[in-house]
Structure 1
């Protein structure tokens, strides 16, 4: 970490730069601080790439896709401006060395650390792949180390470099020592290519050498094509066997990330007493944290002496440090406020599945997708299936961290509680501002039904509760005749049925279908093609229809909003042709508010598919609507928005389309209406803070 040079900028977007972390082929990386104190790693593209039109287009596309990735081993992309003169992107900052730095400084990792490393990388790739991405350049330099596990960075960004001056001047696509045979030949490249690179990174950690030796890139490529990897430094046993299969020359012979995760998670984890990392690496992390503190102190001194202070939060609502999107960016592409509801469902394998070190001494691997927790630290006993949590009274008040994106907030039927789903799934006494229940392990996707039923997806299993974490109704999935790989559960009004997005054989790359389950019986019924990747799915209030937002594979473009008959699977309507899509279902079950443009929202008849009335366009200070909701009585439509002038939301009269309030209410998305319309829960800053507003849209409480 180096001080800022005279030619380094001091501010980029809403970020204040503190120091220079490093530089690479694509540009410089800075340590930055957001207005409310969050640290970010901010990558600024090199000037020559900034003038490459093809690169800019690919970079923008890959950043949009990468923002969909949310997981415990993939630092989130929190902000970006791909339209700036010099494009940039910001991610969560991990104050640790790369795997390359750690091994180079301290030597090879011991066997137990290798297991945790491989398992964390598999789960990182699982998250990336299920978002429709490939990493394409997984290597020790793209793996950061932290007490909670390895952190994979730069996923999806490698593809933006393809075809630029970097590759036209002779660089191969990917890093030669860790690239796969098919990347070398250019034929058959798929997500399985990342598994070849995963194995290479683990072998490097075990031996301090690439799997096919060091030397000139051309020699490395030749050995990758013709030779076998050097696995001798990896202890004999299941881990070495898994890595050997990942090194198969033919991709068809490799396991995918889910298979690797499944096999390794059944193995005994290392003792938690000293954490998973070798002691010298932990010391490196401590030293890096000290550098960060010094950089922050230097930054504060600069401000005190008259340097440029960061802009205050806009609109009085605070900011989470993700900044504001540039003009014209679609809210579904990662708006900092008003995070669209679909993010809770598209972000498969979310951060609930984390390696956590509490106080540097307690290591636990929880919420493994596919069900179950691993053997205990001592290695005794087989994995146990996820079971109901102990009641809060039995285990003391639950601890819930709301940091990170929040994807859904919903009041209970009696209005006394508030369900919050993000990196955790919890229920709160919102008046006291305290959590009263937490669902453990946390699901990768969840839905709160209108009668307090709760559904959670766990890879190849679905679980349904009636109100609390101790009141499980049933669990079912692949072992009950289902297809496997479940996402986006949507509960019927009485909790008797749950619709889910499913993929054949648990493979998200296969054709996706919507599958409807009988909750009591635990059996699948009607199923029908989803038509793409669903990013939201909901029953209407009378359960007569299912509505979902459909995107193309890879989240490259919207297909539209589809309406299905859940009794037959027939698609009744497809609203298409827009460039922004979000919807909110009216309580009457017959209409919905449909966003199809940046600021265009219409009331649509679900029976005929026709527009009933347009809603008045918000003030031009709103660059885009970022999420829609209804009041509980259906009389008002509410929306969050973002814009350079103000970030506050809008309120319409649903019967006339007239704007009642505009740019003067603290309404963000996701949002949930109190059953008696006395209060509105809304998520400020995309995560970290849940605000409860009264009927005048004044904050009456804050959960954090």
Structure 2
């Protein structure tokens, strides 16, 4: 997932674009927001196809048919415009890795997972074929993974594209490694060709290799026509026997999707308690869901762009992931990974065919290692699927990791400086790292990248993973605590860590009953003893959390329960949970704490800025900049508290803003550009900001005259 670049549109049809998900043979894929507030994956075709009238006609027919496909393992086509200057279609968004990405990052799947994978794909093919479609290009990169089962995408579209490329030869085959013999010859192509491709995808999941081995496209096609698939990677038993029949060269000798379902109906499946996916893949899904929310926040939908950081001082940027709107309950949007495990069900239909309303799902809740397992950040663009994840893996404590070239790709959530001002701290979708900003040299990198993180000026770091919080002191080679589900009592998912002034306490968002179905609670943990010190409920979705400098209060930004757009900045007593102050009445809040901890700088409705007194609740308006659109997204106090900086989205043409904190008046600036996120140097003479081009960030350090004095990229 990458930010929109300068050559990407801001909207396609009625749908607002939030990020770029990938690119493939057909065109680009975007994460988009529908007019009804739902997320979708929007695929827009390439220019050369857009000028092909025959393609447009085929594309219109295929999309029209695809809109009739509705099933638990086929994301629905929600909108399309084949007649647009650049034809496009939008489908339900699934925030998970493709099968290709998951296997490459984590290795082959165990046999129980293979059974569920086969069952879900067979049900998807049954749904597609019943609607009168064939997939024609089923392959690991067209299979998304979610806790409810595999999700088959791009069904029917291959036919529209192939007609433009292969009509000269009369061939209609898809990806060589997964195509069927009859697709190669172009004769007698029936829905059973998809069954052949399905079996190939299962073998890939079992071995990490193409079903007929590695080779050039020509040699692969020869193997498909005359060779044998590499079935040895699947344990002997009913599943291997079934797959062998699916690979029959003669399509009449293969079972159809209904027959596959019937044969699989008698095989045991993983329990709902542990889920159908390997734990590392569940963590990939969790990371992808977090990246999705942050992409929403970056485009000013339901929350600020910045996410996942904690203590807010003059040196730190705001934190907290945005929430997902739409049909999912807000609390479940934190992680799809273990949602609805208790209601997973298999329902037998008439005639013995098996229809899956939901597959066994969930997570065992145990990290691969104390640092959080194999969570990964963003990787290279995929071949057009809904989302993609890069390869990654955990490292043992005591080993500092090298920072790769992708660290400043994806999204950046917060920037901050060390106490002496020599180090720049960076948290983003693909990095939690420290840099020598004067030289542009990386100093330390925390891997795998946490879902939420805070780096304090005095060298403490807290990061959240699937079900625990890790705390480091002085660098990634000195982890001092792992907190959470190690006391025999599950606490659910964690996010948005906030460290107090001496880093002896860490506060996070959790749940009241240890499950993602529970109500949201703030947990306060003792870092040394790893014991829960206090716990209190939050009425709504939390998107920011940090301590005041004297540790007397926790400050957060909360949306109201349900799908309400109303948001409030709330101040709590961290010991009792008593609500000390509430500032509400707007549909957007972003807040920053003054250096002395007495005031909050606030953005409301992305157009106005204010200063609020935490003790009295009094709110002063800062001079209006005359903004009429949702462009003001972050405010930060200067190191001495005398100024308030206002930052805009990188997609905005509005220059950076500066207010006098005492008078509230705008301070004249010339040529200042401040894009989120922003970090304020403790010397009061430097500011860090970020600009993105082509999905990669450059962090700029500006002096007091707003000249660029250093860059990190």
TM-score norm. by structure 1 comes to 0.55
Distance in 2 (alpha carbons) for counterparts of 1:689 and 1:411: 16
Indicate the SS of the match to 1:563.
Answer: strand
1:332 matched to 2:267? The reply is no
Offset, 1:516: 0.3
> Partners in 2 of 1:654 and 1:209 — Cα distance?
74
More displaced 10-residue stretch of structure 1: 685-694 or 519-528: 685-694
Determine if contact 2:398/2:477 at 8 Å carries over to the other structure. yes
| Deviation (angstroms), 1:587 | 1.0
Matching of residue 416 in structure 1 with residue 410 in structure 2? no
Tell whether 2:432 aligns with 1:425: yes
Query: How does 1:625-704 map onto structure 2 within 5 Å?
Result: 625-642=632-649, 646-661=653-668, 664-685=671-692, 688-704=697-713
| Cα distance between partner residues in 1 of 2:528 and 2:297 | 45
Greater C-alpha radius of gyration = 2
Confirm or deny that 1:599 pairs with 2:585.
no
For residues 215-267 of structure 1, the C-alpha deviation after alignment (integer angstroms, 9 at most, x for no partner) is 9xxx989x99xx756279xxxxxxx86xx23xxxxxxx63476x73438889x
TM-score normalised by L of structure 2: 0.54
The reply on whether 1:41 has 2:13 as its aligned counterpart is no
Residues 208 and 510 from structure 1, CA distance in 2 versus in 1: closer, same or farther, beyond 3 angstroms?
farther
Q: Which residue is 1:62 aligned to?
A: 39
1:687 offset after TM fit, Å?
5.8
CA distance in 2, matches of 1:572, 1:496: 23
Sort the Cα spacing of 1:622 and 1:675 in 2 relative to 1 into closer, same or farther, 3 A: farther
Which of 404, 414, 433 is the matching residue for 2:410? 404
Q: Deviations over 1:605-660 (max 9, x none)?
A: 1112221x111112437642111211111111112124987243211111111111
Asked if the contact 1:563–1:571 (Cα under 8 Å) also holds between the matched residues in 2, the reply is yes
- Write out aligned runs for 1:320-359 (5 A): 330=301, 332=303, 341-342=318-319
Aligned counterpart in structure 2 of residue 205 of structure 1, from 202, 205, 212: 202
**Structure 1's 560 and 61: CA in aligned 2 closer, same or farther, altered over 3 A?**
farther
Rounded to whole Å, the distance in 2 between the matches of 1:44 and 1:445 is 21
Report the counterpart of residue 190 of structure 1 in structure 2: none
| Partner in structure 1 of residue 399 of structure 2 | 390
Distance 1:205 1:494, change over 3 A: same
Give, in angstroms, the shift of residue 702 of structure 1. 1.7
1:371 Cα deviation after fit? 5.2
Residues 614 and 463 of structure 1: CA distance in aligned 2, closer, same or farther (over 3 Å): same
What is the match of residue 264 of structure 2? 230
Gaps of 5+ in 1: 1-11, 18-25, 46-54, 66-79, 103-108, 126-138, 159-199, 233-239, 246-252, 267-321, 351-365, 375-383
Q: In 2, distance between residues paired with 1:325 and 1:421?
A: 14
How many Å separate the matches in 1 of 2:449 and 2:526?
A: 22
Deviation of the 1:529 alpha carbon: 0.5
Deviations 1:453-506 (A, max 9, x none): 110112221111112112222222111356231111001111111100112565
**C-alpha contact 2:302 2:322 (8 A) present in aligned 1:** no
Contact 1:415 1:674 in 2 (8 A): yes
2:451 to 444, 447, 453: 444
Name the SS of the counterpart of 2:412 in structure 1: coil
8 A contact 2:656–2:672 mirrored in 1:
yes
In structure 2, C-alpha distance between the alignment counterparts of 1:519 and 1:446, rounded to whole Å: 15
Pairwise CA distance, 1:202: 9.0
Aligned length: 467
- The correspondence for 2:279, drawn from 262, 266, 270, is 262
Residue 508 of structure 2: aligned partner = 500
2:576 counterpart of 1:568? yes
Is the Cα contact below 8 Å between 1:114 and 1:205 reproduced in 2? no
Q: Is this contact kept in 1: 2:433–2:446, CA < 8 A?
A: yes
Change (3 A) 1:143 1:552: farther
Secondary structure in structure 2 of the residue aligned to 1:332: coil
CA distance in 1, matches of 2:586, 2:245: 51
Query: Where does 1:427-506 land on structure 2 (aligned, <5 Å)?
Result: 427-480=434-487, 483-504=491-512, 506=514
Distance in 2 separating the partners of 1:528 and 1:43: 38
8 Å Cα contact 2:306/2:412 also seen in 1: no
Deviation per CA, 1:522-561: give whole Å up to 9, x if none.
1111110022221110111221111111135677634422
The answer as to whether partners of 1:389 and 1:440 remain within 8 angstroms in 2 is: no
Q: Deviations over 1:6-51 (max 9, x none)?
A: xxxxxx995469xxxxxxxx99x9x9999xxxx9724699xxxxxx
| Secondary structure at the counterpart of residue 39 of structure 2 | helix
SS in 2 for 1:205: helix
* Contact 1:534–1:549 (CA under 8 A) maintained in structure 2: yes
Kindly state the Cα deviation for residue 151 of structure 1 after the two structures are TM-superposed.
5.6
In 1, Cα distance between the equivalents of 2:511 and 2:534?
14
> In structure 2, how many angstroms separate the alpha carbons of the residues matched to 1:681 and 1:265?
35
The residue number in structure 2 matching 1:175 is none
